[in-house]
Amino acid sequence: MRAEVKRCTWLLLLSGLVFGVGRLAAMSPESGAVAGAFYGVVLNGAPQTGFALLVLDADARLYMAQEDFVRLGLARAIAPVMRDGVALVPLQGHPGMVVYRDAQQLSLRLEVEPDWFAPTRMNLHAPQAGRPLPASPGALLNYTLQATRSEGHAMAWGGTQSLSLFGSPGLLQLNTAIQSGDGGAASWSRQSGARVSRLATTFLHDDEQHLSTWSLGDAVLQAGAGVPGVRYGGVTWQSNFGLNPAFSALESPALFDAARLPSTLEFFLNDRRVGAPVAVPAGPFEVSGLPTVGVNGTVSVLIRDALLNERIVNVPFLNTASLYRQGLHSFSYTAAWLRPELDTYQTPFVATSHRWGLTRRVTLDAGATLSARHRSAGVGASAALWGPFLGNTHVTWSQALPGAGQQWGASLEWQDTRARMGGSYSHASPRFALLSDSASSQLHTRDDVRFFAAQALGQNWGSVSISLGRLSDWQ
C-alpha cells in the first residue's frame, strides 16, 4: 500500500514538473521569445499555493500567464498579450496594484485593492420554500356560544359559527351569527324571536407561483392612501406574500464592505454571537439578511481575514411593517358593491392600491377609488428618518356631490424593542369625502390630532399603553 502511495506521489510530482517545463519551454529563447520563470506569489501579505509563470519582455516589462492571473482570483479585465500561444497579462502600470519582484528568491509580492476581485453577494435568509402539497378536500367548523343575564331581563343566548370547506380549487368560508332577540332561547323558529345573520361568504383561491390571492364574496377593503376601509361584496385580486413562508417583505439589514483577503464574518447582537460564521472571498461583498432581534438595534459584524486581522463594522436596523424592502411591489384590485348593512349591497365601485419599496429607507403608497358619484386618489410615503424614528406623510384628493376636497397629514413615531410613542395630525377641507362617507352627513372632520405611548412590562406581564386624541369638525 505504501509503495502504491509513493508511486502516485512521484507521478504527480513528475507530471507537475513536465507541465512546468512545457510552459517554460514555450517561452524559451529558442522559440524567439524572452525567457520566463516560475515565481512564488504573496498576495496582500498571504502566500498563495502553487506558482505563477512570469515573463520579462525586451523592455523589462513584467507579464504573468493569464491562467495564473485568474487562479489568484483577480477579476480585473486586462487585455492579454499573446506570446508563442500563451496569453500573458501585463502587471505594471495599473492603478490599485503594486508589484514587488525578487529575482533572486523567485518571489513576487502583489498588493492590490479589493476592487480587483470579483464582487460577492449573498443573502443569509434565502431558503426557498417547497411547493405546498395539494390540499385534500375537508371541512372545519368553529363556533362560539355565550349567555348573558341581567337584572330584570331573561337570559339571552348568542353565538357565532364559521364553516370552512377547502380543497384544491380553494377555500370557501361561511360566517354566521345567532342571537336571541326577545331574551328567550335562541332557536330557528320565528316565534322565539331568534335572529340568524350571515356575516360573510367568501371564496379564496391562492396563486403560489405569483404570491397572489383571488377572493370572491364579502370582505373589508384595506385602508390606504386614497382608499377607505369599507365592507363590500365583490371580487379582489391582491398580493399575498404569506403564501411563501420564507419570503419577507421587510427590509433586512445588509453589510456592504470589501476585503483584501478571504475573510470570515461573525455576527453579534447585544454582545452575544448569533448564527454561524460566514466565509467570504477577497473583494467587495454584500451580505443581506443579517440576523436581528426586536424592532431596532445594531448588528455588530466581526471581520477576520486570513492573516487574523480583525475589525468590527456596526450595521443599524429597523424592523417595521411600514417599510418594504427595496424593489418590492404589492398591489390590490377590487370591483365590488358597498355593503353598508349585512343584508344590503349598493353603490358599485372599483378600487386599487399599491406599495413600492423605493429605497431601503423609503416606501411609497398610492391608491384610488371610483364610483358613479365619487372619485378619490391619494399618495403617501413612509421613511426611516434617523435612528429609531419613522415618519409618514400622505395627501388625498376627492370629488363627490358636495364638491372637491383635500386631506393631508403626517405622523412621527419612535419605537424600540420594548416601547413606542408618537403622534399624528391630519387636516381635511370642508368638502372632502371618501367612498364610505354619506353626502348627507352632518359631521365632517376638520382636524384630527392623536398622541400615543406603549411600554412592555416584562415577560408574562403584558404591556400598558395610553392614547390621547382630539377631533374637530366644520360645524
DSSP 222-241: PPBTTB---EEEEEEEEE-G
Q: What is the pLDDT of residue 9?
A: 38
pLDDT of 368 higher than 80: yes
Please provide the distance, in angstroms rounded to a whole number, between the alpha carbons at the two ends of the chain: 102
Set of cell numbers at residue 220: 373589508
In whole angstroms, give the CA distance from residue 283 to residue 90.
Answer: 21
pLDDT of 382 higher than 70: yes
In whole angstroms, give the CA distance from residue 62 to residue 83.
Answer: 13
The 10s digit of each residue's pLDDT in 295-350 is 778 899 999 999 999 999 999 887 888 889 889 999 999 999 999 888 889 889 99
Confidence band, pLDDT 50/70/90 cuts, at residue 136: confident
Q: What mean pLDDT is predicted for residues 418-425?
A: 90
Confidence band, pLDDT 50/70/90 cuts, at residue 135: confident
pLDDT of 270 higher than 70: yes
In whole angstroms, give the CA distance from residue 235 to residue 447.
Answer: 34
Confidence band, pLDDT 50/70/90 cuts, at residue 441: low
Residues 208, 214, 218: CA angle, nearest 5 degrees:
140
In whole angstroms, give the CA distance from residue 433 to residue 410.
Answer: 19
- β-strand 156-167 against 138-148: which pairing, if any? antiparallel
pLDDT of 463 higher than 80: yes
In whole angstroms, give the CA distance from residue 351 to residue 378.
Answer: 12
Q: Comparing C-alpha atoms, which of 45, 156, 40 is closest to residue 103?
A: 40
In whole angstroms, give the CA distance from residue 415 to residue 295.
Answer: 7
Of the listed ranges 190-194, 249-253, 268-272, 442-446, the one predicted with least confidence: 190-194
How many CB atoms are located within 10 Å of the residue 36 CB? 23
Q: What is the pLDDT of residue 438?
A: 58
Helix H or strand E encompassing 12:
helix 2-25
Q: What is the pLDDT of residue 4?
A: 47
Q: What is the pLDDT of residue 149?
A: 77
The 10s digit of each residue's pLDDT in 199-235 is 899 999 999 888 999 999 999 998 888 898 899 999 9
Set of cell numbers at residue 101: 519582484
| Mean pLDDT, rounded, of the chain | 84
As to burial, measured by CB atoms within 10 angstroms (0-12 exposed, 13-18 middle, 19+ buried), residue 371 is middle
Q: What is the pLDDT of residue 317?
A: 82
Helix H or strand E encompassing 4:
helix 2-25
Set of cell numbers at residue 105: 528568491
Q: What is the pLDDT of residue 13?
A: 37
C-beta separation of 352 from 360 below 8 A = no
